[in-house]
Amino acid sequence: MRLILTGILFLFSSISISAKDFMRIEISGQVEGVVEIELLSDLAPNHVIQIKKLVSDKNYDGVAFHRVIEGFMAQTGDVVFGNVFNEYLPTMVGRGGSQLDDLNGEFTSQPFDRGIVGMARSQNPNSANSQFFIMLENGHFLNGKYTVFGKVSSGMNIIDKIKRGDQANNGMVAQDPDFMKKITIISRD
């Protein structure tokens, strides 16, 4: 009997039921709607931890999509210079991060397909901090060079409508950018 009970306990302890975490983004501006991003902690555990910390501290609430390039990607996440409710600095946005430490790259073979969410960084591969981008189209030239930490699970039609930036100015959105009004983390089985 003890052997059977031990076997049953082992079976249940080896079954891992894990919830998936999603970043729920309420977008506002010229486009309104909700986008959900599945967080891929199996690919980038340290990046997901940092993103969840920034969300829980409400650092992303009010942050603009400051660089949006047609046929490529929409970038956001500059919590220092990109908050539309708190001294938004259009001439500086894109240069800031957060008060948290920069992250070492967590590069994988996950391709940068449409809807994939990656971390922005400088030329230093270990400089990702708070800025991230959502792929509008496939961008496989980024594969293995930037960290993938999520993928859009719903609301890609909203991302497709985000205000585009000036092509002559590397996609910078100089006036009235769309922004992340409120972000929360939700878990689902």
Q: pTM for this one?
A: 0.90
What are the CA-CA distances from residue 39 to residues 20, 23, 149 (Å)?
Answer: 7, 7, 6
CA distance 30 to 52: 27
Which alpha helices (H) appear in 24-118, and where do they start and end? 45-56
38 alpha carbon, distance to own chain's centre: 9
Write out pLDDT tens, residues 131-145: 999 999 999 999 999
In SS3 terms, 104-148 reads as: CCCCCCCCCCCCEEEECCCCCCCCECCCEEEECCCCHHHCCCCCE
Choose among 149, 177, 180: nearest CA to 45: 149
Q: Domains in the chain, please, with CATH?
A: 21-188 (2.40.100.10)
Which pLDDT does position 17 carry in this prediction? 57
Which pLDDT does position 90 carry in this prediction? 85
19 phi and psi, to 5 degrees? -80, 150
Residues of the chain falling short of pLDDT 50? 1-16
